[in-house]
């Protein structure tokens, strides 16, 4: 089996994304399945300015920056998607169509097709039908917001991991929050200073120069405004009943990381984890596998 399988999920009925929108992604399946049936599946949603490569960082000469490959090597099917409107997924006809609700609906349809295809054994030729899988939604940063909105509205996942998304407000220097606009003024994204602030000083230069870090994916002004409305997102978080894993780096975006768990008031099982030696972009940190291993134990 190759390293990953490219997948495309048709998502009908999403206004503003063309007549036949699709959500694109990469699927990593265990090559050595061992004696038991695969039961764990991760559906990964990247943050603002990134794309599916955040969960599969490729650096020449280094082969240990891919969370998806790490999971697959440990018996988990991992899928990393391009959010609708970014990367290889369908683009919006106008930026104002890029809203959290539309993206949540599209990603819910994609997750449903993923589960149905794996259970039927039709999605990955090398895998048999997997009738007993459990789906974990993993969202980093703005992807955490999208995971919260999706789970509150659709209950797509058996459990959710919210990584680096703060429901309580941003702990960032205002001087690095200046938006950068494209010539039309349609899109906004963080400044280069903010992007650098997302990493500890020990992250190697060649890792920071990887395409996953350097090729910026735009964020619509509409979605950025929704992200600033913390009250609405907190209400969505409070409606989630599935188990929740909340994680932040040692230096991250939350004003009060340990208080974030209380936002998930309807969930009976809330796990908090803080990753030492990491800033906001955990998958670039020297300690990244500590988080990955902790997630795998939690998924069990």
* Alpha carbon distance 114, 105 (integer Å): 14
Q: What is the pLDDT of residue 177?
A: 59
Half-sphere exposure of residue 139: CA atoms within 13 angstroms, side-chain side: 24
Query: What are the strands, taking DSSP E only, across the chain?
Result: 5-10, 22-28, 40-45, 77-81, 134-140, 159-163, 180-181, 187-189, 219-220, 244-249, 270-275
Q: Is 9 exposed, middle or buried (0-12, 13-18, 19+ CB in 10 A)?
A: buried
Tell me how crowded residue 168 is: count the other CB atoms within 10 A of its CB. Answer: 16
Report how far apart, in Å, the C-alpha atoms of 68 and of each of 10, 21, 42, 103, 191 are: 22, 25, 9, 22, 28
Residues 6 or more apart whose CB falls under 8 angstroms from that of 205 comprise none
The CATH code for residues 5-299 is 3.40.50.1820
pLDDT tens-place string over residues 180-230: 555 554 455 556 677 778 999 999 999 998 999 888 777 777 888 888 899
Phi and psi at 172, nearest 5°, equal: -135, 145
Q: What is the pLDDT of residue 215?
A: 81
Instruction: Assess contact for 31 and 123: CB atoms under 8 A.
Output: no
Name the region of 49 (left: φ>0; alpha: ψ -120 to 50; beta: rest). left
Residues 6 or more apart whose CB falls under 8 angstroms from that of 53 comprise 46, 80, 211, 212
Q: What is the pLDDT of residue 185?
A: 44
Q: What is the pLDDT of residue 183?
A: 52
At 146, is the pLDDT very low, low, confident or very high (cuts 50, 70, 90)? Answer: very high
pLDDT over 90 percentage in the chain: 76
pTM, rounded to two decimals: 0.94
Phi and psi at 288, nearest 5°, equal: -55, -40
Instruction: Assess contact for 31 and 3: CB atoms under 8 A.
Output: no
At 31, is the pLDDT very low, low, confident or very high (cuts 50, 70, 90)? Answer: confident
For the chain, helix, strand, coil in percent to 5 are 35, 20, 45
Instruction: Assess contact for 145 and 233: CB atoms under 8 A.
Output: yes
Strand partners, 78: 28, 42
The predicted model gives 80-100 an average pLDDT of 93
Domain boundaries, the chain: 5-299
Residues 6 or more apart whose CB falls under 8 angstroms from that of 243 comprise 158, 159, 160, 267, 268, 269, 270, 271
Q: What is the pLDDT of residue 190?
A: 55
Q: Is the pLDDT at 169 greater than 90, yes or no? A: no
pLDDT tens-place string over residues 239-261: 999 999 999 999 999 989 999 99
Q: What is the pLDDT of residue 195?
A: 72
The predicted model gives 67-81 an average pLDDT of 97
At 292, is the pLDDT very low, low, confident or very high (cuts 50, 70, 90)? Answer: very high
Report how far apart, in Å, the C-alpha atoms of 44 and of each of 95, 96, 169, 221, 268 are: 23, 24, 23, 23, 23
* Alpha carbon distance 299, 81 (integer Å): 20
């Amino acid at each position: 089996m190759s390293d990953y399988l490219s997948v495309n999920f048709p998502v009908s009925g999403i206004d503003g994304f063309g007549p036949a929108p699709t959500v694109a992604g990469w699927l990593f399946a265990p090559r050595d399945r061992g004696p038991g049936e695969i039961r764990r599946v991760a559906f990964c949603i990247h943050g603002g300015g990134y794309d599916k490569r955040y969960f599969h960082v490729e650096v020449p000469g280094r082969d240990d920056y891919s969370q998806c490959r790490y999971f697959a090597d440990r018996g988990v099917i991992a899928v990393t998607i391009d959010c609708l409107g970014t990367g290889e997924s369908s683009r919006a006809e106008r930026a104002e169509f890029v809203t959290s609700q539309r993206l949540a609906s599209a990603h819910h349809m994609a997750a449903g097709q993923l589960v149905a295809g794996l259970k039927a054994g039709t999605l990955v030729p090398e895998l048999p039908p997997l009738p007993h899988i459990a789906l974990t939604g993993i969202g980093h940063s703005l992807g955490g917001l999208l995971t919260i909105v999706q789970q509150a509205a659709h209950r797509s996942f058996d459990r959710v991991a919210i990584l680096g998304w703060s429901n309580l407000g941003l702990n960032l220097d205002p001087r690095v929050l200046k938006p950068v606009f494209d010539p039309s003024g349609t899109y906004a994204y963080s400044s280069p200073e903010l992007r650098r602030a997302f990493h500890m000083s020990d992250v190697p230069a060649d890792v920071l120069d990887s395409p996953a870090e350097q090729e910026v994916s735009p964020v619509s002004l509409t979605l950025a405004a929704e992200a600033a409305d913390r009250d609405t997102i907190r209400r969505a978080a409070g409606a989630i009943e599935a188990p929740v894993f909340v994680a932040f780096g040692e230096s991250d975006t939350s004003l009060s990381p340990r208080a974030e768990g209380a936002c998930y008031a309807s969930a009976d099982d809330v796990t908090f984890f803080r990753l030492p030696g990491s800033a906001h972009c955990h998958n670039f940190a020297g300690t990244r596998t500590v988080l990955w291993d902790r997630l795998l134990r939690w998924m069990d």
